Amino acid sequence: MQQSTEVAPGARVIPNVVAPRPVAAPAREASTADKPAVIASDLWAYFGDTAAVKDVSFAAPAQAVTAIIGPSGCGKSTLLRCLNRMHETAPNTRVEGKVEILGTSIYGEGTSATVVRRHVGMVFQRPTPFPTMSIRNNVAAGLRVAAERPQSRAGLQDTIEEALKRAGLWEEVKDRLDDSAMALSGGQQQRLCIARALAIRPRVILLDEPTASLDPLSTQKIEELVYHLRETVTVVIVTHNMQQAARVSDRTAFLLVGELVEFAATNALFTAPKDPRTEAYITGRFG
């Protein structure tokens, strides 16, 4: 089912941006009534004395896809890394403000960053499989770190199979789980990284331009996967591709020079943006 592009009379229609959803994906309408899974309030992120994210506040609904778009260098990836405390792993960085994941403040006193990342998985722009590990052991790697108690061998194999199925990779690799992960194509490696993140059963998964280095066919598979993932997990995706944001997301945030310019239902933002800077960006007048 395709996303509707109907707008109110007099609305500014932005051509050639809103594209149909992936064919295989079921439709789901975004709703402002959806309970937020991720809430950022007055969020600032710094590299030294330079603010890369400036006073950003938004709420990403649960079991939905929220896209973050904007020109290169606008703070998209920095904002994403703040949502699972990855930003603070870089030297001379700090975060101010508040982020709540499922009602818990992840920057609260005594909150462990490691525990946060057990509930908030992340996949990066380029595939990052562990090169010395098999396909099987790549998926199991996160489990071994996160598990409070060791799983049985049978339980571990069931979890690996489940994660690979959720990542849409099981049928392609089920007969060669002990092969090197590096034997996979780039698109398969990225889906393997998504499976590795899903194996620990996170409540939220963050994707930082996951198709930037992939060919069109692999990109399509990842997009369809992302669109399906919202049935079981909250997804926040950074993308430089506006058509991709239109295809896979329920809500979209537009960032510019570290500031949140507009945050709205995806169809509304692309067909009738409220801020002239948003309209200028999505019509290609800058960026």
**Residue-level pLDDT at 286:** 76
Over residues 42-56, the mean pLDDT reads 98
**Residue-level pLDDT at 34:** 57
The mean predicted confidence, pLDDT, of the chain is 88
Question: 278 vs 152, which has greater pLDDT?
Answer: 278
Contact criterion met (CB below 8 Å) for 262 and 274: yes
> pLDDT per residue over 156-192, tens digit each?
999 999 999 999 999 999 999 999 999 999 999 999 9
**Residue-level pLDDT at 194:** 96
Q: How confident is the model at residue 145 (pLDDT cuts 50, 70, 90)?
A: low
**69: nearest Cα among 243, 211, 206:** 243
Angle between helices 135-146 and 186-199 (to 10 degrees): 30
Contact criterion met (CB below 8 Å) for 109 and 184: no
Q: What domains can be seen in the chain, in order of their start residue?
A: 36-282 (3.40.50.300)
- Phi, psi for residue 147 in degrees, rounded to 5: -65, 130
> pLDDT per residue over 18-36, tens digit each?
444 544 334 444 443 457 9
